Amino acid sequence: MGRRIVIVVLVAGLLILFAGALATWLVKTRYEADRESTRNSLRQLGQFAASYNTAVVKNKPLPSIVTVPPGTVFRPDIAPDRRLSWVVQMLPVFDQRHQDTAKLLAQIDMNQPWDAEGNAKAGQTRVRILLCPARPPLVVEGEPFVTQFVGIAGVGADAATLPLDDPRAGAFRYDTPTPLSAFPDGLSNTLLFGQTNYQLGPWIRGGPSTVRGLLDGEKLLGDGGQFGGIDTGGTFFGFADGHVANIRDGITPAVLKALATRAGGKAESEQIAD
């Protein structure tokens, strides 16, 4: 009897160890899968300029790839935060195998603000590519769905309104495209998109909901920061040349601000990626 008890205890112990190892493996696998999903979303968003410049708008082909598109669907009589966002222009070029976002575009009136009745209803749709599976947002039914990826406008709350030659200006501007020739630091040294869990706004809405500058005097990265707060220890960003990097939350603020602008200077590689 005593021998049987020992065997049972040993088997139970092995099963517990196996279950623990399996649970650890599953958590790690899920974690890596979530991170890869975020990378893939940023890579696809990184094709934004290319897709926009080669798309057909009003049945007229646009010129070759020379600009980062405007951060809003420009309407001079509508304030930026009531315009439609850059996301709306991207709906037809997202991967349609995962979600028919081209069909979603047909529900949107491009001449109306985002909160017009029909547009607001379309904005309640969950757009998968704009979400981070590691920490998906909670959205009340009937409310507009949010995005966890925003365009980078430079440094300051007014960054998206700055003229092209302002040293605080970044890749995105509300009203006009940004020429790819206007990146003194180089496309690989300029942020285009960043993940965030801070003050999430509707994907369909222009203004700070979908385009933001880095703000002085506030935490930049990590929990409670302007960007990140989703993955442990780092924040994923997409760069203007299309590559994706996970920037350490402890990065020197001056270096991150330099990356957020088109002419802020180049950053050392060890400061920007893990």
> Residue 15: its pLDDT value, please?
58
Average pLDDT, the chain: 82
Q: Give the Cβ contact number of residue 236 at 10 Å.
A: 23
- Kindly state the helix (H) or strand (E) to which residue 236 belongs, with its residue range: strand 234-239
Alpha-carbon distance 69 to 177, whole Å? Answer: 4
> Taken in order 245, 251, 255, 257, is the CA torsion positive or negative?
positive
Express each pLDDT in 131-144 by its tens digit.
988 878 877 788 99
> Residue 84: its pLDDT value, please?
95
- The whole-number average pLDDT for the span 6-19 is 60
> Residue 56: its pLDDT value, please?
39
Our CA angle for 33, 126, 118, nearest 5°, is 165
Tokens (6 digits) for 245: 């990097």
Express each pLDDT in 30-75 by its tens digit.
556 666 778 888 888 887 655 555 553 444 444 444 678 899 999 9
Cα distances (angstroms) measured from residue 111 to each of 73, 83, 108, 153, 169? 9, 9, 9, 24, 27
- The whole-number average pLDDT for the span 253-257 is 92
Alpha-carbon distance 248 to 161, whole Å? Answer: 28
> Residue 22: its pLDDT value, please?
47
pTM above 0.85, yes or no: no
Residue of 144, 122, 163, 267 whose CA lies nearest to 210: 144
pLDDT at 27 over 50: no
- The whole-number average pLDDT for the span 83-97 is 87
% the chain with pLDDT above 70:
77
Alpha-carbon distance 68 to 10, whole Å? Answer: 63
Which of 46-60, 79-93, 109-123, 154-168 is predicted least confidently?
A: 46-60
Three-state secondary structure call for residue 20? helix
- Kindly state the helix (H) or strand (E) to which residue 42 belongs, with its residue range: helix 2-45
pLDDT at 203 over 90: yes
> Residue 210: its pLDDT value, please?
96
More confident residue, 95 or 155: 155
Q: 183 falls in which pLDDT band (50, 70, 90)? A: confident
pLDDT at 123 over 90: yes
Beta bridge partners of 214: 155
More confident residue, 35 or 152: 152
More confident residue, 216 or 17: 216
- Kindly state the helix (H) or strand (E) to which residue 127 belongs, with its residue range: none
